[in-house]
Structure 1
């Protein structure tokens, strides 16, 4: 049985949750709060004391982007992680954006508002305003980020963009991003996420 150490409101955890649900895999989700992440038992799984952590038998993997890459290679090779070198490179660009600009912009603004994190709000807002127009322009006239289909690029990049309302931003200001995140939420087996707007409503 797959174990996923996560928390309900973690966008990074939700990336993995979506992948598992769309793959039709069963998993045992272990709610892991900040106190649990400081324990020796958890640090043995992830010395960085972060979620998500994916455990499958003796195999342990941390970092949401890495977990997505593993699940794609194991269960949807080519379809989810790129059919050509060009697609693979393009997907990696979006995994990088997810870990860098999207996290250091919209995700940090959300973490400050929801969880009381101490962040450089001015810098996070500036990063958000750099990456949001890039994503919006890329999605104009496209349904998906790469290859005309769902890939791990979409799974990696979407949660903290779908949740920008929690960051004090208005998703309706970014209609291509809004429609893309609603397309993802409309997919069969999409696992609900608090704050992620569905088609036709907030």
Structure 2
């Protein structure tokens, strides 16, 4: 049985949760709050003490992008991780954006607003202001980030953009991003997440 260590409001955990759900894979979710992440038991699973962590028999993976890459290669090769060198390069680009601009921009702002974290506010605002127009312009021309279908690019980039209201960002100002996150939430079996608009989650 797959074990997924995370929390309900973690966007990074939700990336993996979506992948497991869409792949129809059974898993056991282990609630791992901030206190639990400081325990020696959790450090024995991952020395970084971060979520999500994916455990399957004798295999342990950390980092949501790495986990998505593994799941795509094992269960949806080509379909989720790129059918051509061009697609694979584009998917890698969006995974990088998820780990950098999205993490250091909207996700960091949400961390401060929702959880009281101390952040470099001006830097997070600047990263957000630089990145949102880039993905908005891309999605105004494309239904999905890469190709004509859902890929791990969409799974990786979408949660913290769907949650921008929790970072005091009005998604109405970014209609193409909003339509894209709606599109993902309308997929059959989409797992609901606190903060992802409930009227489109099922």
Q: TM (normalized to structure 2)? A: 0.97
Q: Any conservation in 2 of the 1:4–1:53 contact (CA below 8 Å)? A: yes
Distance 1:74 1:45 in 2: 22
Cross-structure match for 1:150: 150
2:7 counterpart of 1:7: yes
Distance 2:199 2:92 in 1: 28
Instruction: Write out the 4+ residue segments of structure 1 that deviate beyond 3 Å after TM superposition.
Output: 198-201
Distance 1:183 1:65 in 2: 21
Q: CA deviation at 1:84?
A: 0.4
Q: CA deviation at 1:198?
A: 5.1
| Matched pairs, number | 201
- Structure 2's unaligned 5+ residue stretches are none
2:187 counterpart of 1:187: yes
Cross-structure match for 1:19: 19
- Structure 1's unaligned 5+ residue stretches are none
Cross-structure match for 2:132: 132
Cross-structure match for 2:164: 164
What SS class does the counterpart of residue 148 from structure 1 fall into? coil
Q: Any conservation in 1 of the 2:186–2:200 contact (CA below 8 Å)? A: no
Distance 1:108 1:35 in 2: 20
Distance 2:158 2:110 in 1: 14
Q: TM (normalized to structure 1)? A: 0.97
Q: Any conservation in 2 of the 1:186–1:198 contact (CA below 8 Å)? A: no
Q: How big is each residue's C-alpha offset from its partner over 1:89-136, in whole Å with a ceiling of 9 and x where there is no partner?
A: 000000000000000000000000111111011110110111100000
Q: Any conservation in 1 of the 2:105–2:125 contact (CA below 8 Å)? A: yes
Q: Any conservation in 1 of the 2:185–2:200 contact (CA below 8 Å)? A: no
2:41 counterpart of 1:41: yes
Over the aligned positions, Cα root-mean-square deviation in angstroms equals 1.1
Q: Any conservation in 2 of the 1:186–1:199 contact (CA below 8 Å)? A: no
